[in-house]
Each structure stands twice: as C-alpha cells, then as structure tokens.
Amino acid sequence: MKGKILKGSIIAIILIMFLVSSVSAENKANDEKVLTLSKGGLVIKYPSDWGVSQAKSNYSIMSISKLDSIDSAGVGQVNINFEKKPIEGDFHTFVNSTYNSMQYDSSFKLVSSGESIIGDRQAVEYIYTSNQNGVEREHKAVWFEKGGQAYVLLYSAPINQFEQNLYVFDYILSDIQIT
C-alpha cells in the first residue's frame, strides 16, 4: 500500500513540475517583444534580446547584435549587418567577384553558394567561415539588387554560436520589407 501511495505521489509531483515549467515557458514567450528597425530602404523585425550595434563596414546602413555579445566598443560578436554598395557592372559578376577573391586567402573557406529569394526578389546566398586573429567565425550572406545598389544581409557568429542564433537571421529574411 505504501508503495502505491509513494508511486502516486511521485507521479503527482512530476505532473505539477511539468505544469509549472509549461506556464513559466509560456510567460517567457509572452514577455519577449519584437522590435522594428527601418533604415536604408529596409524594414526588419527582430527579438528584444537583440539590439542596435556598431558595424565595422563603411557600407553599413544598420547593424543588430545579440545583446549579450556586444563588446566594450559596441560591436556584437553575434551580429547581423545590413549593407548597401553601388554596383559596378553586372550584379552577379559584382557579387561573385567578392567571393572569388576568397579562394586566395587561407583565412576564408567557402562552404556553399546558391540562388535564394528574399521578399519578392531573386537573391544570391553564400555561407563561409573565417579565421581572423585566432577566432573562427561562420557567416551567411544574402545579396539582392535594388535600384542599382547591391544589398547584403550578413549574419556572423563564432562557430560555436552560429547554429543556435541562425533562427533570428532566418526570421528577418522571411519577414523583411524592402521599401
């Protein structure tokens, strides 16, 4: 009899713990906010645990980073940078020339490339790794053309953080507005 009571008590405790954790996770999801940023002809939505940060590129129109990855200079180690560059010649030739030069630099390794779609536009996607100052990073770049300009959305993160934060970049790509 005591064994049945103990077994029933353990099952009840497990059920209560499951219900409490479910309510806690639901409350956390409801507490997260989605923020909007609009600049340079792009409107993006991103989670509130990311924020505006500094970019290293002169072509940057905006940059966001995972808040807990921003260093003392304001640069995020897990970041998404949005750039706009004037196209010199054909769009595909312009974009491909950027990555063709990587084959001569041993600190970069091209993982994949191919066609993609962003919003209603044809796009080109590149995934590559880099090793600069002993830090290995993975990058996913998606390029599209608008009004004689090449836009690139570039997600970068240390290799050990790339996959776990990729969903934010994918969400932005699926929801971006190109104005």
* 150-161: pLDDT as tens digits: 999 999 999 999
pTM (2 d.p.):
0.79
Q: How far apart are CA 124 and CA 156, in angstroms?
A: 17
Residue 69 φ/ψ, nearest 5 degrees: -110, 0
Q: How far is CA 89 from the centre of its chain?
A: 29
- Radius of gyration of the chain measured on its C-alpha atoms: 22
Confidence of residue 100 (pLDDT cuts 50, 70, 90): confident
Helix (H) or strand (E) holding 25: helix 2-31
pLDDT tens sequence across 67-83: 999 888 878 899 999 99
Structural tokens at position 22? 């479910």
pLDDT at 140 over 90: yes
DSSP code of 77?
S
